[in-house]
Homo-oligomer: A and B are copies of this chain.
Amino acid sequence: MLINCAAYQDGKKLADISVADISNYVGRPDCFVWVALRDATEAELATMQQEFGLHELAIEDARHGHQRPKVEEYGDTLFAVVHTIEFGATDELRVGEVNIFVGRNFILSVRNRSTQHLLGVRERAEHEPHLLRHGAGYVFYALMDAVVDRYFPIIDALEGELESIEGQIFVRGSARANIEHLYELKRRIMTVRHAVTPLMESASKLWSGRVPGVCEGSREYFRDVYDHLVRINGTLDSLRDTIGTAIQVNLSMVTIEESETTKQLAAWAGIFAVATAFAGIWGMNFEHMPELKWRFGYPMALGTIVVACTLLYRRFKRLGWV
């Protein structure tokens, strides 16, 4: 679905143009065309391929979707795949895709399986003609920047989740829930990593070393995006590392709790075993058991049992077992 299609010159919008007119504008030296598609059909992609002379392999990638994030050069044209991440209705992470084709005189973005629109980027760009004057390369930056900026709230949410699990990790009896949450969180982090890490690697090629011509004028802007990706990546690494440690610590806590339960069991089993053993002894049927005939034999027996159990209880108390 075509969202919009406009030609720009000297940092200002010339006009909204029809798809058929694209080739006219692309030919003009100081002018560039900016087209935005959403969930593009095969026909739309075919038209775009023809209008902009896009490489067959890039178009195929855009058609199939589910590519890993990347930035590839096909002659003078760049083809970039960027992942969008958003929370779905039931709090699961949903991954979409923005395919971007950039040439000297055009930029084409194709957004798939994503509810986040990028209209704000165009609006903001049109209000900053001094920046938009940099051309298609700057628009490319603005689109990447918009997508990457939306990673931050996701990261914050994941950090929040981890913190809430950490608040539970030393609470008795929460081990099972903790481990399930940690596992789930780890999966989410891997989803985000798959969006971030390959993009970070690709983005570094846009500002350091030999830079594609179309990005040359916006080097410092791409370094800024790269910097954000490095920061996010670092945070993800920390999260992953912390989750690993948290799983280990959680296992330790389970083992410690089990050990405490075992001690408690040992203590109470001991106390009752003593009572039972004493009772057993006075339950024997020997004829000559003088204390059985004593007037206060029974209270004495009960007393003995209570005293023995109490002493034992105190000892275990002191050991911290009960």
Residues of A within 8 A of B (CB): 55, 57, 67-68, 70, 72, 74, 169-170, 173, 175-176, 179-180, 182-183, 186-187, 190, 194, 198, 220-221, 223-224, 227, 230-231, 234, 238, 241-242, 244-259, 261-266, 268-270, 272-277, 279-289, 291-298, 301-302, 305, 320
Other than the given A269-B270, A284-B301, 10 more pairs (CB < 8 A) read A57-B220, A70-B227, A169-B183, A190-B242, A258-B259, A261-B263, A265-B265, A276-B276, A286-B292, A286-B301
Residues of B within 8 A of A220 (CB): 55, 57, 74
For the complex formed by this chain, how many copies does it contain in all? 5
**Cβ of A305: which chain B residues have Cβ within 8 Å of it?**
281
A249-B247 in contact (CB<8A): yes
- Taken together as a complex, chains A and B put the C-alpha atoms of A117 and B248 apart, in Å, by 40
7 CB contacts below 8 A, A to B, read A57-B220, A68-B231, A70-B227, A173-B320, A175-B256, A186-B242, A257-B259
User: Which residues of the other chain, B, contact A293 by a CB distance below 8 angstroms?
Assistant: 287
Contacts of A251 in B (CB 8 A): 248, 251-252, 255
Once the chains are docked, how many angstroms separate the CA of A254 from the CA of B249?
A: 12
CA distance A190 to B243 in the complex (A): 13
By the criterion CB–CB under 8 Å, are B183 and A245 in contact?
yes
Known: A234-B194, A263-B261, A298-B289. A176 touches B247 (CB 8 A): no
Cα A247 to Cα B247 with chains together (Å): 11
Contacts of A297 in B (CB 8 A): 286-288
Q: How far is the CA of A190 from the CA of B166 in the complex (A)?
A: 15
- Roughly how many angstroms separate A194 CA and B241 CA in the complex, as a whole number? 13
